[in-house]
Amino acid sequence: MLDDTIAAISTPLGEGAIGIVRISGPQAIAIAETVFVPAVNKFWQKQTYKLVYGHVFDQTTGKIIDEVLLGNMPGPYSYTGEDVVEINCHGGPAPLRKTLELICRAGARPAEAGEFSKRAFLNGRLDLTRAEAVIDMIRAATEDALQLAVNQLSGRLSRAIDDILNELLAIVALVEAAIDFPEDEVEDYSPAQMAIRLTAVIAKVRELIAGAEIGKVYREGIKTVIVGKPNVGKSSLLNVLLREKRAIVTAVPGTTRDIIEEVLNLGGLPVVLIDTAGIRDAGDEVEKLGVARTLAMIDQAGLVLMVADAWAGLDAGDEEIIALLQNKRGILVLNKIDLLQDGLGQVKNELAQKLPAWPVVEISALQEQGIKELEAAIVDLVTGGLALPADGVMVSNVRHKNLLFKALEHLTEAQEAVGTGLTPELVAVDLRAAWETVGEINGRAVTEDIVDKIFADFCIGK
Q: Which residues sit at the interface with ligand GDP, rule CB under 6 A?
A: 228, 230-236, 283-284, 335-336, 338-339, 364-366
Rg over CA atoms, the chain: 28
CB nearer to ligand GDP: give 156 or 234: 234
Which candidate, 381, 359, 372, places its Cα nearest to that of 245? 372
Output the smallest distance, CB 257 to ligand GDP, in A.
19
| Alpha carbon distances (Å) from 136 to 70, 115, 188, 271, 388 | 27, 16, 42, 17, 16
* 75, 82 contact by CB (below 8 A): yes
Output the smallest distance, CB 317 to ligand GDP, in A.
11
Between CA 44 and CA 38 the distance in angstroms is 7
CB nearer to ligand GDP: give 312 or 459: 312
Output the smallest distance, CB 331 to ligand GDP, in A.
16
Helices (H) and strands (E) in the chain, counts: 16, 14
Output the smallest distance, CB 299 to ligand GDP, in A.
21
Amino acid (1-letter code) at residue 32: A
Between CA 107 and CA 113 the distance in angstroms is 19
CB nearer to ligand GDP: give 33 or 338: 338
Output the smallest distance, CB 284 to ligand GDP, in A.
6
CB nearer to ligand GDP: give 244 or 284: 284
CB nearer to ligand GDP: give 80 or 335: 335
| Alpha carbon distances (Å) from 202 to 224, 409, 432 | 35, 10, 14
Q: What residue spans of 93-221 are helical by DSSP H?
A: 93-105, 115-122, 128-139, 143-153, 156-180, 191-220
Output the smallest distance, CB 335 to ligand GDP, in A.
5
CA atoms 111, 116, 121, 125: torsion sign? positive
Residues present in the chain in total: 462
Which candidate, 236, 231, 229, 227, places its Cα nearest to that of 315? 229
CB nearer to ligand GDP: give 158 or 224: 224
Output the smallest distance, CB 259 to ligand GDP, in A.
18
* 428, 168 contact by CB (below 8 A): no
CB nearer to ligand GDP: give 206 or 246: 246
Output the smallest distance, CB 275 to ligand GDP, in A.
13
Which candidate, 41, 34, 90, places its Cα nearest to that of 57? 34
Output the smallest distance, CB 243 to ligand GDP, in A.
13
Cα dihedral 299/301/303/307 (nearest 10): -70
CB nearer to ligand GDP: give 194 or 237: 237
CB nearer to ligand GDP: give 32 or 226: 226
CA 216 to chain centre: 7
Output the smallest distance, CB 338 to ligand GDP, in A.
5
Output the smallest distance, CB 348 to ligand GDP, in A.
15
Give the number of other CB atoms < 10 A from CB of residue 62: 7
Between CA 5 and CA 383 the distance in angstroms is 46
CB nearer to ligand GDP: give 169 or 282: 282
| Alpha carbon distances (Å) from 104 to 7, 23, 69, 109, 296 | 7, 10, 19, 6, 45
CB nearer to ligand GDP: give 115 or 362: 362
Output the smallest distance, CB 231 to ligand GDP, in A.
4
Range 352-365 burial, b when 16+ CB lie within 10 A, else e: eebbeebbbbbbbb
Helix (H) or strand (E) holding 272, with range, is strand 269-273
CB nearer to ligand GDP: give 23 or 304: 304
